[in-house]
Every structure is written in C-alpha cells, then in structure tokens.
Amino acid sequence: MIKQKTGWSDEEVIEHTPTIVVTYGEKGSAIMTAQGSTQIDICPVKEVVDPTGAGDAYRAGFIKGLLAGLPLESCARLASVAAAYVIESYGTQSHHFTMEDAKKRYKKTYGNALTLE
C-alpha cells in the first residue's frame, strides 16, 4: 500500500524506513532492510481452521521479539509461531499458548533455541 500511495520503488521505501516486513500468508514473510532481503519460512500448522487474526498475532510476535532485542530473523520466526497458533483455532481469541509452548515449537520448526522470557 505504501508503494501504491507514494509511487516509490522498494529501494525508495527502504530509504525512508529502516525495516520493512511483508507477510505472504502460507508462503512466509520477508524482511527488507538497506542491507538486503531475507525470506522467512512459515511455522507449519497442524490444521488450517481459521486464519482470522493471524496477521495481528504475527505483528504481536514480531514486536515481542523486537522488545526482547532479538535479531530480525528471529522476530519473524517467533511471529510465524504466534500466527500458527491462531490459524489452528476458530475465532480471533480462542487460541492460547505458553512461552514454553512457543519455544518448543520454534525449536522444532527452525532448529535452534529461542532465548526469550
């Protein structure tokens, strides 16, 4: 939407914003900075029940990672884990998970431990 409203290219947007995160649903997400772009794989879901609220959960997970000082790639992976829990439940507020649940799922999906409180 930013590119559409401003007419800017990706490069011009990056000149004005240090980090851009774009989500692609089941195709993952991308982090774009002046240093380049990184594609982030999704956290697989057990079953697609309802995607309503997945974008909000993604943002919440990403911001949690930022506030914890995690690298951007880890923020996006945590965001994907949070979104997966939402997609597996019906409704926008019927899902729940603990930080321990998220850490286990993160490690299972991405192969490395998430250091987060």
Quick: pLDDT tens for 57-69. 999 999 999 999 9
56 counts as catalytic: yes
Catalytically annotated residue among 10, 41, 56, 101: 56
Looking at residue 43, what DSSP letter applies?
P
Q: Report pLDDT digits (tens) over 39-63.
A: 999 999 999 998 888 999 999 999 9
Task: State the CB neighbour count (10 A cutoff) for residue 29.
Answer: 21
Q: Looking at residues 78-92, what average pLDDT do you find?
A: 90
Contact 25, 14 (CB under 8 A): no
**Residue 24 pLDDT exceeds 70:** yes
Dig out the tokens for 3 from the structure.
Answer: 């590119």
Query: Whole-number mean pLDDT of the chain?
Result: 90
Using pLDDT thresholds of 50, 70 and 90, give the confidence band for residue 92.
low
Q: Which domains does the chain have, with CATH numbers?
A: 2-110 (3.40.1190.20)
Query: Residue 89: which residues within 8 A CB-CB, separation 6 or more?
Result: 49, 50, 95
